Amino acid sequence: MGYRVAVVGATGAVGREILKTLQEREFPVDEIVALASPRSTGREVSFGDRTLKVQNLETFDFTGWDVALFSPGASVSAIHAPRAAKAGCIVIDNTSHFRMEPDVPLVVPEVNPNDLKKAKRGIVANPNCSTIQMVVVLKPLHDLFTVKRVVVSTYQAVSGAGKDGMDELFTQTKGTFVNDPPKIEQFQKQIAFNCIPQIDRFMDDGATKEEWKMAVETKKILDPEISVMATCVRVPVFIGHSEAVAVEFEEPVDLKKAREVLREAEGVILLDERDDGGYVTPIDCVGEDATYVSRLRIDPTVPNGLAFWCVADNLRKGAALNAVQIAETMIALDLLPNRN
Amino acid sequence: MGYRVAVVGATGAVGREILKTLQEREFPVDEIVALASPRSTGREVSFGDRTLKVQNLETFDFTGWDVALFSPGASVSAIHAPRAAKAGCIVIDNTSHFRMEPDVPLVVPEVNPNDLKKAKRGIVANPNCSTIQMVVVLKPLHDLFTVKRVVVSTYQAVSGAGKDGMDELFTQTKGTFVNDPPKIEQFQKQIAFNCIPQIDRFMDDGATKEEWKMAVETKKILDPEISVMATCVRVPVFIGHSEAVAVEFEEPVDLKKAREVLREAEGVILLDERDDGGYVTPIDCVGEDATYVSRLRIDPTVPNGLAFWCVADNLRKGAALNAVQIAETMIALDLLPNRN
C-alpha cells in the first residue's frame, strides 16, 4: 500500500532530483503527479521508466493526495503550500518561505526527526542546503562536546541557483575560450573563474540572507544556544557545496572520540587521510547521499576548538534527498496517514 | 644614479611580474640581468621595450650587483641566495626557505618596514601571498583594537602554483567541453570546476604547510600574540586570492572607526556597498596593486568581533609587487647601498 505523491516544481533542478530520488529509494508510490507553473504545463519529466506529463499547479486539486514535495520559488510555495495542506495533503517544502515559522518544523532527519511530530499545520520545511550538511556533521559532535560557536565559510556550487545557474557557469566558461564577453544574469558578477561573496540579498547588518539562514536555521534545528558566523561564497563548481568549519565547544575536545563518533554517525562519511589527496572535494560527491567530512583537526587557537571541511551534493542531501528522507521518516513515525 | 638589479627565476610567473613591476614603478635601474636555471638559459624575457637574454644562475657572479629579487624554487634559493648575499648583493627572496629564520626579516612594507634594518645577513624574505594580503588589512585594525585571534578561509587562485598551475586549470576546463579526461599534475585532484582543501603538504597536526605559514608568518610580521586558524583552499580561479576573515579583538570594536581607518590605510581600498555586486571579486583585482576589502561587518557571535572579505592579485601584492616595494623601502630607509 503506497502513497499518492505530488512533486511541485517538477521541471526544476531539484524537482527532477526529487523524482529520481523517490524512484531510487523505492519510496512507496501508488500514484504520482508532476506539477509546475502554467508556463511548464505539458512538458515531460522522467520517473524511472515512466514519463510524466507536467500538470498545472495553479488549478490542481490536492484533495485525496497524501504528500506533496514542493520545490518551486518561495512566492509560489507561499500560496500553494497552505492550499495543499488545507486539502489534507502533507507538504514538505524546499523553499525558505515557511522555515522560520514557529509552527512549521524545520527538519534534518538525522538531527531532529521528532520535530516532525509538531507539524500541526501540515507543512514541514526543508532547511537550506548549506545548513543541512553542516548540522548533519555538528549533531554527533554537539552530543559529545556541546557546540557553542561556529565560524563557517562556504564554497557553494552554482546548482544552488538551479539549472539556470549551471547554464550560466557553462556558457560563461565556454565564452572565455572564444572571447565572448560574459553575460551576467543569475549571479551578480561573472562566476566563471571567479568567487562571489554574495548569495541571496543583503540584510541591514551587512550579512547576506544566506548567511543569516545558516545562523537561524542551525539554532532552530540543533540548539538555540549555538551561534553561527557564516560567510557564504559562490564558486565556479557545478554541483557540491563545501564548507570550512571552525567550532568552539563547551567541553574539552578529544580528537579520537570525535573521529569515532563521526565514523558511526548516520549520513556522514569520514574520509580524512592527512595526506596528498586524502580528502573529499565537490567533484567526488556528485550523486552521493552522504555528507563527507575531511580535514578534521584540533583548532589550537581557542579552548576546545575543532575544525573540519565538509562536502555534500547540494541537489541531493542539500535538497531532494533530505525532502524524501523527511517523508520516509514521517512514515516511520506514523505521521503520514495512508488513506488508501 | 640607479642600481644593478638581478631577477632570479625570471622565466616564471612571478619573475615576469617582477620585471613588469620594476618597469611600471620606474625602479631606478642602471643595469638589469635575468637569471634562471640552466634549463631556461638563453630564453628571452621582456623588460619594458627591451628584451633580456636569460643567463645561467648557477655560474653567475653576484659581485658588484646591488640587489637580487629571487623567485625560483625554495631549494634553489637555499643555495644561491646566501651565495649572492655573500658577494655583497642584497637578496629579496620570494620563497619560503628563509622566512622563519630569526636573522632574516619577513616584511610587508605597509606593516613592518623597520624590520628591514635587521637584515644582517643581507637577505630579506617576502611573505607568503595569502599572508601578505591579510596582514595589510589587519595592521590598521590591530593598531585600533588589538587583534587576538583570526579565523580565515582562503579561496586561492591557481597562479599561486605558477604558470603550470594556470595551464592545468585551462587545459582541464577546456577538456570538459570535449570530454577529455582531466590530467592531474600540479594539483592533487581535478581543479576545473572543483575546490581542493590542500595547498602545500600536510603537517603532523593535520594542518597543511600553507595554513601553518599563515599562522607563523602573521606572528612574525604583525604580532607574536596573534593566533591564526587557517583553512587554505585552491579554487578554479586564474588570478586573485580571496579570504573570508573573522577577527576577535582585545578591545571593543567600532564599525565606523574600522571603516575610516581602512579607507585611510596604505595599500588598502575599501569597496563595500552592502548591495548586489557592491564588493570585490578576484576578477576585479587582476593587475591591481591594492588589497581590496569588502563585506566588513560586526561578528555578533563573539565579543569584539569583526569579519571581512579581502582580495588581492596574488602575483602582484602577493609576490612581485611586495618584493619590489621592499627594495624601494630599503632605498628610502638608506639600507640599499648604491655602489655606483
Contact between B327 and B18 under an 8 Å Cβ cutoff? The reply is no
* Nearest Cα residue to B87 out of B126, B122, B124, B38: B122
Contact between B249 and B306 under an 8 Å Cβ cutoff? The reply is yes
Type of residue numbered B119: A
Question: B193 vs A295: CB contact, 8 Å cut-off?
Answer: no
Distance from C-alpha of B18 to C-alpha of A177, rounded to nearest angstrom: 27
A300 touches chain B (CB under 8 A): yes
DSSP 3-state of A281: coil
Interface of A with B in 137-166 (CB under 8 A): 149-151, 153, 155
* Nearest Cα residue to A133 out of A150, A115, A116: A150
CB atoms within 10 A of CB A174: 15
Query: Looking at CA atoms only, how far is residue A132 from chain B in angstroms?
Result: 20
Task: Find the catalytic residue in B129, B232, B285, B310.
Answer: B129
Distance from C-alpha of B306 to C-alpha of B316, rounded to nearest angstrom: 27
Contact between B201 and B166 under an 8 Å Cβ cutoff? The reply is no
The three cell numbers of residue A110 are: 538525522
3-state helix, strand, coil in chain A (%, to 5): 35, 25, 40
Give the pLDDT of chain B (340 residues) as one tens digit per residue.
Answer: 799 999 999 999 899 999 999 999 999 999 999 999 999 999 999 999 999 999 999 999 999 999 999 999 888 999 999 999 999 999 999 999 999 999 999 999 999 999 999 999 999 999 999 999 999 999 999 999 999 999 999 999 999 999 999 999 999 999 988 889 999 999 999 999 999 999 999 999 999 999 999 999 999 999 999 999 999 999 999 999 999 999 999 999 999 999 999 999 999 999 999 999 999 999 999 999 999 999 999 999 999 999 999 999 999 998 999 999 999 999 999 999 876 5
Contact between B297 and B262 under an 8 Å Cβ cutoff? The reply is no
Q: How far is CA B205 from the centre of its chain?
A: 25
Told to judge if B241 belongs to the known catalytic residues of this protein, a careful annotator would answer: yes
* Nearest Cα residue to B158 out of B129, B125, B127: B129
DSSP string of B148-163, one letter each residue: EEEEEEEEB-GGGGHH
The partner residues of A243 in beta bridges, in order of sequence, read A154, A310
**Max Cα separation, chain A?**
59
B173 touches chain A (CB under 8 A): yes
> Could you report the per-residue pLDDT of A152-193, keeping only the tens digit for each?
999 999 999 999 999 999 999 999 888 899 999 999 999 999
The three cell numbers of residue B212 are: 601553518
Task: Find the catalytic residue in B80, B142, B241, B285.
Answer: B241
DSSP string of B81-146, one letter each residue: HHHHHHTT-EEEE-SSSSTT-TTS-B--TTT-GGGGGG-TTSEEEPPPHHHHHHHHHHHHHHHHH-
Question: Which candidate from B227, B294, B309 shows the least CB-CB separation from A301?
Answer: B227
Distance from C-alpha of A238 to C-alpha of A183, rounded to nearest angstrom: 17
* Nearest Cα residue to A308 out of A148, A127, A160, A133: A133
Question: Which candidate from A196, A202, A299 shows the least CB-CB separation from B229?
Answer: A299
Distance from C-alpha of B8 to C-alpha of B322, rounded to nearest angstrom: 16
A53 half-sphere exposure, CB direction, 13 A CA radius = 1
Predicted pLDDT of residue B338: 74
Residue A201 φ/ψ, nearest 5 degrees: -90, 170
A96 half-sphere exposure, CB direction, 13 A CA radius = 14
B205 touches chain A (CB under 8 A): yes
What residue in A sits closest to B272 (Cα-Cα)? Answer: A206
Predicted pLDDT of residue A340: 58
DSSP 3-state of B259: helix
Predicted pLDDT of residue B339: 66
Question: B307 vs A229: CB contact, 8 Å cut-off?
Answer: yes
A277 touches chain B (CB under 8 A): yes
Could you list the mean pLDDT of each consecutive 10-residue stretch along chain A, which spans 340 residues? 95 94 97 96 96 97 97 91 97 96 97 97 97 98 98 97 95 92 96 98 98 98 98 98 98 98 98 97 96 98 98 94 98 86
Domains of chain A, with CATH numbers? 3-127+319-332 (3.40.50.720), 130-314 (3.30.360.10)
Type of residue numbered B5: V
Q: Which residues in B lie closer than 8 A to residue A270 (C-beta atoms)?
A: none
A41 touches chain B (CB under 8 A): no
Q: Which residues in A lie closer than 8 A to residue B295 (C-beta atoms)?
A: 197, 206, 231
* Nearest Cα residue to A243 out of A158, A321, A157: A157
**Max Cα separation, chain B?**
59
A200 touches chain B (CB under 8 A): no
Is residue A234 marked as binding? yes
CB atoms within 10 A of CB A332: 12
